[in-house]
Amino acid sequence: MKVESRIFDVITAFFFIAAIAYTFIAKEPVGIAALFLTGGLGLIIGTYFRFVSRRLESRPEDNPLAEVSDGAGDVGFFSPGSYWPIGLAGAAALVAIALAFFYIWLLVIGAVLLFIAVGGLVFEYHIRPAEH
């Protein structure tokens, strides 16, 4: 996670320097606020990654002397075929359309469908404990 925190540190520095330069050059308040807020968001993410990297063991990506074979092995479980991401994308699109046209009734329907799709995706492989 140290590599990721360094990436966000660079992003944060860039946006803060760009915001300071934009303040003196353009003097346009919305752009100034957007650049400073973007730098602040980069700072939040970089700080989170730095905080998490202290708690986790070192990964091959964090070791400059690591070999490619150091990262070999299981990465995790990935579903071989799931239809929940399609439903999730459709529900998210419905919520976006409802927000764009400000249809509250459609927003409620889309939010319910979005919660159902997220729940279906999260609990797709959940197995109940056996009853005795």
pLDDT at 126: 80
Mean of the per-residue pLDDT values of the chain? 91
DSSP assignments along the chain, one per residue: -HHHHHHHHHHHHHHHHHHHHHHHHT--HHHHHHHHHHHHHHHHHHHHHHHHHHHSPPPGGG-TT--GGGG-S------SS-SHHHHHHHHHHHHHHHHHHT-HHHHHHHHHHHHHHHHHHHTTT--PPPP-
Give residue-wise pLDDT tens across range 52-102. Answer: 988 888 888 778 888 888 888 887 777 788 899 999 999 999 999 999 999
pLDDT at 2: 82
What does the domain layout of the chain look like in residue ranges?
2-69, 84-122
